[in-house]
Amino acid sequence: SEPPVFNEVLESLEESDFSDNRLKELFIQLKNYVASTHNFDIQAFIGIMETNLADLAREMFLRDFGNSLSSSEVLAAELKAALARVK
């Protein structure tokens, strides 16, 4: 299960918070993915997206960490920072 901050960040945002349609679609897919898996794996998430959204996700979530995020806590912190950049 994901750390509370992870879910807190996802729940704090609404589709209307995004003026960029790509960011909105990424958010929708992320929220749906987390709801369906309850165990977030960044590589699996990126792997199910179309190329342009996958590239956006890599840029937003992996730019400081290379190709992996090893802990949910680190991912939650990066998610919070990434979503703060778009809000």
**CB-CB contact of 30 with 10 (8 Å):** yes
For residue 48, report the phi and psi dihedrals to the nearest 5 degrees.
Answer: -95, -5
Q: At what angle do helices 51-61 and 21-37 cross, to 10 degrees?
A: 80
- The pLDDT value recorded for residue 24 is 87
Per-residue pLDDT tens digits for 70-85: 556 666 676 677 767 7
Per-residue pLDDT tens digits for 4-55: 556 677 777 778 888 889 988 988 888 888 888 777 777 888 899 999 999 9
Whole-model pTM over 0.75: no
**Which of residues 12 and 69 earns the better pLDDT score?**
12
- The pLDDT value recorded for residue 87 is 59
